[in-house]
């Protein structure tokens, strides 16, 4: 599941509620002044938007999913150098992408992919690989 904060960032809307609608849709409420609007988006469409959002921020995501474990490679989008490889527990590619974006948002103040400067983050699930 994607957080309200991250969904707001990716869709460029002020989201106030986020929840699952069935198995492949995310339902959310967002502010369209002066009203609140209920919307839903397919998780695969949202995952694509998330990858584009990450790319625009300087990151390139590559996801390989298995039965219960996914591997996410996060690259610097400018020079394609591997920054980190994370293993996350999830069932679908969109879920892995949402987890990767959560990590990017949490560490954005720590690492800027365009400056190649890194400060280790204690919240990483795996070890980082600087290029």
- Per-residue pLDDT reduced to its tens digit, 1-50: 899 999 999 999 999 999 998 889 999 999 988 899 999 999 999 999 99
More confident residue, 35 or 106: 35
Closest Cα partner for 92 from 62, 73, 69, 75?
69
Per-residue pLDDT band for 123 (boundaries 50, 70, 90) equals: very low
pLDDT of residue 43: 95
The domain spans of the chain are 4-107
Closest Cα partner for 126 from 94, 83, 97, 92?
83
Give CA–CA dist 81/44, Å, rounded.
Answer: 26
Give CA–CA dist 20/26, Å, rounded.
Answer: 5
pLDDT of residue 51 exceeding 50: yes
DSSP 22-39: TTTEEEEEEEETTEEEEE
Give CA–CA dist 72/87, Å, rounded.
Answer: 6
Coil vs helix vs strand at 91: coil
Give CA–CA dist 130/116, Å, rounded.
Answer: 9
**pTM for this one?**
0.75
Dump pLDDT digits (tens) for 55-104.
Answer: 888 888 888 887 777 888 888 777 777 777 777 788 788 988 998 888 88
- What value does the mean pLDDT take over residues 108-125? 50
């Amino acid at each position: 599941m994607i957080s309200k904060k991250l969904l707001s960032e990716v869709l460029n809307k002020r989201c106030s509620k986020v929840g699952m609608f069935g198995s492949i849709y995310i339902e959310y409420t967002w502010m369209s002044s002066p009203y609140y609007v209920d919307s839903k988006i397919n998780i695969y469409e949202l995952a694509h938007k998330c990858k584009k959002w990450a790319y625009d921020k300087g990151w390139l995501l590559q996801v390989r999913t298995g039965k219960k474990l996914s591997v996410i490679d996060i690259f610097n989008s400018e020079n394609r150098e591997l920054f980190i490889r994370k293993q996350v527990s999830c069932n679908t590619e969109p879920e892995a992408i949402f987890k990767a974006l959560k990590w990017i948002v949490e560490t954005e103040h720590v690492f800027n992919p365009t400056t190649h400067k890194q400060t280790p983050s204690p919240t990483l699930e795996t070890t980082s690989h600087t290029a």
